Amino acid sequence: MKLTGKCKEDFEKWMLENHYDENQVYYFEPEGDDVYSVFELNGFKHSQPAMQWGVIQDWADSVGYILDTQPMMDYNNEKYTGVDCFIFNIAVINNKDLRQLDDNDCRHDTRPEARTAAVEKFNQLYNEL
């Protein structure tokens, strides 16, 4: 899950503004392009990817993007028999309309893969503003 450009800058600013605790140590640690290795805030860098996803979702909510992943279930006309794949949805909220973006044609084998794809698409959309 990489954030780049304006998306990365705004996320880092939001993290510093919204997750500050004077009892914690905050420092910048440039190490490549991955937003998680650029800085560490209250253990964010070392958090599990699912926890990082939650923080990115919170920030996306605050800027008008709703990120979601969901399973596509196998069904045999009687019961659900398993998970076929995972997809992501991004709802973009603005003053005039609600646009739903999804990747129904792009299926992912695992929820983490769908999360990564959602963040990549969100990053692209945010940087196009």
User: What letter would DSSP give residue 45?
Assistant: G
Print the SS3 string covering 56-112: HHHHHHHCCEEEEEEEEEEECCCCEEEEEEEEEEEEEECCCCEEEEECCCCCECCHH
The answer to whether 64 and 94 have CB atoms below 8 angstroms apart is yes
**What confidence score (pLDDT) does residue 93 get?**
80
Ranges of each domain in the chain? 5-127
**What confidence score (pLDDT) does residue 66 get?**
92
Rounded (5°) CA angle 58-45-1: 65
Per-residue model confidence as pLDDT tens digits over 3-20: 899 998 898 888 877 765
- pTM summary value: 0.76
